[in-house]
Chain A
Amino acid sequence: MEILVCVKRVPDSAENEIVMNSAGNDIERDDLVYSVNEWDNYAVEEAIQIVEKVGGTVTVVTVGDADADEILRREMAMGAEKGLLLQDDAFEGSDCKGIATALKGAVEKGKYDLIFTGAQADEGAGAVGGMLAAMLDLPYASLVNKIELGDGKLTIGREIEGGNREMNEISMPCVLSIQTGINEPRYVGIRGIRKVSGVEIPVMSAGDLGVDAGSVGAAGAKVKKIDYFVPEKGEGAEMLEGSTEEIIDKLIEILKANGGL
């Protein structure tokens, strides 16, 4: 089984306090700590488990700059055999469709049975996988939280509302977006990362991929972020203040008054 997993380097929301910059049009980006998009670790783990069962190769790919090397290596330390970096100034400022267009180029340069993405990334769009599948005319399923291998096809479970699972049969090759909880991503230690530090990661440009530079990046983007802002706060919560003891006393009064104690 040849599996391509698309991953993204994102600001780590657990490690950063997100604040506005002084100009008030963007977030402060100077000291942001980055990591792999949470969902992508589940996608890579699932791919590795499939290959451990039936053989094959897991390749991790990302669209990014030289900094993205570190997240590819992290996923390779998990057990992905190959990395691939799609890097070109032309990709800068891409919207979801631009990213999907670059990835399509990479898919067409290889021969993959399965293509995974995370169910969504830092912007919460969850769009790249579905777009990529449509561009390649491959079947697609989103929010996948169960995969059973069949002959030339898969039985997959999709997470839908209320904890229900929608079971489908899907033919291969296909594109799946992977939801958290499908597995338990393995731990990656410093030693694992060191082991893959020497592995060469090929870099492909728009030209290498056969991608028209005008169809990607800011030039091709039809969806553009204008600015960041902090929405005006509504009334918000009644904040309990004082010493811990005072707060606890007030809280207990509130719990009593509302039938909670």
Chain B
Amino acid sequence: MAQVFAYLNHKNGVLEDAAMELINAAKAISSEPATAIVCGSGIDAVATAAAAIFPKVIKVDNAALDYPNAEVVRKALVNVIPAGSVVLFAHNTFSMDCAPGLSVKLNASFVADIVGIDGVDGSTLKVVRQEFGGVVSTHVGVDMSAGAVVAVRPGTFAPDESKAAGGAVTAADAGDLSAKRKFIEIVAPEAGDVDITKADILVSIGRGIEDEENIQLAMDLKEAIGNAAEVSCSRPIVDAKWLEASRQVGTSGCTVKPKVYMACGISGSFQHLGGIKGGLLIAINKNPNAPIFQVANVGIVANIVEFLPALTEKIEEMK
């Protein structure tokens, strides 16, 4: 049975929550105890936190790893991980940067953004992925005979919060960490004119709004509802420059927790849903099979270009 490793992300001395999910992902692959890997500089506290979750922890402590530059981390991992291993990542912007290249260097198979593990059959790992924004799923067979690198979508496995692993930490040498890519700095997003995180009600529009001029329909509804409301959006609306970036909800935008979130013409990608942390989710979409209806509390099948003005009118009438 292949040895399973889990690369753990951490920031400001704190492990990311995904660590508690990866231990359960590892258990779905092998009954052998999994090994966590933490890379960084001055990371004793993080390694100790990892040892509460994983029975074994490898700590790679090196000044060159102070910021997780994917090229440098990859070099460290190639030095530490034996051939034929299975390596787990949380699927995020770091894994997208590091994991595909790592799989080449380890001569292992690679599969990204899995949403389930269906078991192991000999040396084949059977995983579940989604396509077309979650409208359909696929079973995928991953040949693990020479090892595999697997990126797991956050939220796929329940977190193991018991923190009773009592694991042991061993230090490993990173080896040569010279790189052709150098980290400079993190630039925070510019603050916008509006703060959508403060609104009680978000009228959130997606690609289903169809035209730039239709943005006004959402603005009108917001005006009708009043002060507590604001207009937010999914990423394609920002990419098209129809609304400013500070209104984007999702993993690469804002995280919001309004009382009511009205998703209008939004399909429900995991990157978008990742920014909604609570409140009543109302989805309005013209496609009855839109994945957002699986996660919404209330669903309405409608063309938003017609529905939003009708709703606005009714609210105005009630005043």
Contacts and interface: CB of A to CB of B under 8 A. Distances in A.
B126 A248 contact: no
Residue among B100, B135, B294, B301 with the most chain A CB within 10 A? Answer: B100
Interface stretch (B21-29, B79-87, B166-174, B175-183): B175-183
A119 B138 CA distance: 21
Interface in A211-252: 222-231, 233-234, 236-240, 244, 247-249, 251-252
Contacts of A14: 207
Contacts of B142: 222-223
B215 interface: no
A124 B131 contact: yes
Nearest to A133: B101
A229 B138 contact: yes
Interface string A127-159: 111110111001111110000000000010111
B296 interface: yes
Contacts of A20: 136
Contacts of A174: 180-181
Interface stretch (B48-56, B157-165, B253-261): B253-261
Contact of B245 (A122, A135, A163): A163
Contact of B101 (A120, A131, A222, A238): A131
A228 B138 contact: yes
Interface residues of A, number: 81
A163 B101 CA distance: 24
B318 interface: yes
A121 to B, nearest CB: 11
Contacts of B63: none
Contacts of A225: 138-141
Contact of A248 (B103, B189, B259, B311): B311
Q: Chain B interface mostly helix, strand, loop or mixed?
A: mixed
Contact of B318 (A130, A135, A222, A252): A252
Interface string B231-272: 000011011110001001001111100011000000000000
A168 interface: yes
A100 B105 CA distance: 14
Contacts of A177: 96
B297 interface: yes
A163 B296 contact: no
A202 interface: no
A161 interface: yes
B141 A223 contact: yes
Interface in A158-195: 158-171, 174, 177, 180-181, 184
Contacts of B12: none
A4 B224 CA distance: 50
B280 A258 contact: yes
A237 B293 contact: yes
B104 interface: yes
Nearest to B311: A248
Nearest to B280: A258
A260 B280 contact: yes
Given A223-B143, A224-B141, A169 B181 contact: yes
Interface in B283-319: 283, 287, 289, 293-302, 306-307, 310-311, 314-315, 318
Contacts of B38: none
Residue among B102, B132, B183, B301 with the most chain A CB within 10 A? Answer: B132
A237 B287 contact: no
7 contacts: A17-B289, A164-B189, A167-B186, A180-B239, A222-B142, A237-B296, A261-B315
The 5 closest A-B pairs by CB, nearest first: A130-B100, A237-B299, A163-B189, A134-B101, A260-B260
Given A119-B96, A238-B298, A247-B302, 12 more contacts: A125-B113, A159-B252, A162-B251, A163-B254, A169-B181, A181-B238, A228-B136, A229-B137, A236-B293, A237-B297, A244-B302, A252-B311
